[in-house]
Amino acid sequence: MSVTLLRNTRIEVEDLVKEFRRPKEQEGAFAGLRTLFTREQTVKRAVDGVSFAVEPGEMVGYLGPNGAGKSTTIKMLTGILVPTSGRVTVAGVTPWRARERNAKQIGVVFGQRSQLWWDLPLRDSLVLISKLYDMTQARYAVQLAQFTELLDLGPFLDTPVRQLSLGQRMRGDLAAAMLYDPQILYLDEPTVGLDIVAKDRIRRFVAELNRTSGTTVILTTHDLDDVEQLCRRIVMIDHGKVVYDGGVEKLKARYAPYRELVVQTEGLTDVDGAEVVKREEGRVWLRFDPALTQPAELIAAVLARCEVTDLSIVEPALEAVIHQIYQDRG
């Protein structure tokens, strides 16, 4: 899949490929020793011709099942991995060729790994990061005050990182990643294992950074509530290939065009323009296609036929849509 890359893009990825090679496992006697010295190799293509472009200020959900190549792509964007082939430009630089310059313009949060010093208080970790990125003392003070308020860091700023809860550590990692005001933020499963309150605080922080600073965000996650609340665009990959690149609403319209009208009523058996798909405890679920039946017309038809005490229109959940896409692909 190829894309036309734009001049004002913040991130450009073109025909990106990453292969991992390992010795072919031998069988039979002394298999382990023979595997160690064999010249035969197996090749796994984790990323297979991925192309996309991200404009300044965009928040993009980079989605796919386990093993699809999401984290491998992020590691090439950050310069941790060198691709087998293809081209990557991040804010004008090739990440693995200009590691120091690239590091100063990106922030990275890996949900399962921390960049904080385990035995130091969170405040000391942030001070060290400010020194690494040559921040002035005045700039550091302003950023620390802002992030302390937005992420509610005050109660645990002087607590050793090893004593922080998962939610507290993730908030500390976010502060560390954005302390030096990078242009781009990569979030790899940032809310994994967090409770609802912690997830909400992190989402609001990322949205605020995007709104006030125009931070470009690429988010990989299995929690699709993160995507629905933060991203207007999705790049979806499967087996290392891009299978969808577009808006969230366009994805729903393409793969789940139906809506459901949920009615609290008695005696409703059917109505023109909709299909009864479920009944439960006095409620009726009517599935309809908005392209064929206008919601207002359907509601009017229901009200004309029976007494209604409550009703609502249910949009398709993004999680169900994506699950259906991967199920259809086998």
Q: What is the pLDDT averaged over residues 34-43?
A: 69
> Who contacts 92 (Cβ-Cβ below 8 Å, separation ≥6)?
none
The yes-or-no verdict on residue 251 having pLDDT over 60 is: yes
Nearest to 191 by CA among 206, 176, 212, 208: 206
Residue-level pLDDT at 291: 84
The yes-or-no verdict on residue 113 having pLDDT over 80 is: yes
More confident position, 288 or 26: 288
CATH 3.30.70 segments of the chain:
257-329
Tokens, residue 258: 């139906």
Q: Where are the beta strands (DSSP E) in the chain?
A: 11-23, 41-54, 59-63, 85-90, 106-110, 184-188, 216-220, 233-238, 241-247, 259-265, 275-280, 283-288, 308-314
User: Where does the pLDDT of residue 4 fall: very low under 50, low under 70, confident under 90, or very high at 90 and above?
Assistant: very low
Residue-level pLDDT at 1: 45
Average of per-residue pLDDT values in the chain: 88
Q: What is the pLDDT averaged over residues 195-205?
A: 90
Residue-level pLDDT at 32: 64
Tokens, residue 324: 């259906």
Residue-level pLDDT at 8: 67
Q: What tens digit of pLDDT does each residue of 137-192 get?
A: 999 999 999 999 999 999 999 999 999 999 999 999 999 999 999 999 999 888 88
Structural fold of domain 257-329: Alpha-Beta Plaits (3.30.70)
Residue-level pLDDT at 314: 87
Q: What's the rounded Cα separation, in Å, for the pair 47 and 49?
A: 7
The yes-or-no verdict on residue 34 having pLDDT over 70 is: no
- Which CATH code is given to the segment(s) 55-252? 3.40.50.300
Q: What tens digit of pLDDT does each residue of 79-110 get?
A: 999 999 999 999 999 999 999 999 999 999 98
User: Where does the pLDDT of residue 29 fall: very low under 50, low under 70, confident under 90, or very high at 90 and above?
Assistant: low
With pLDDT > 90 as the criterion, what percentage of the chain qualifies?
58
Nearest to 168 by CA among 215, 125, 212: 125
More confident position, 290 or 142: 142
Q: Where are the beta strands (DSSP E) in 289-328?
A: 308-314
User: Where does the pLDDT of residue 257 fall: very low under 50, low under 70, confident under 90, or very high at 90 and above?
Assistant: confident
Q: What's the rounded Cα separation, in Å, for the pair 59 and 207?
A: 9
CB 151 within 8 A of CB 201: yes
Q: What's the rounded Cα separation, in Å, for the pair 157 and 121?
A: 7
Q: What's the rounded Cα separation, in Å, for the pair 322 and 255?
A: 9
Q: Taking the model in full, what pTM does it have?
A: 0.81
CATH 3.40.50.300 segments of the chain:
55-252
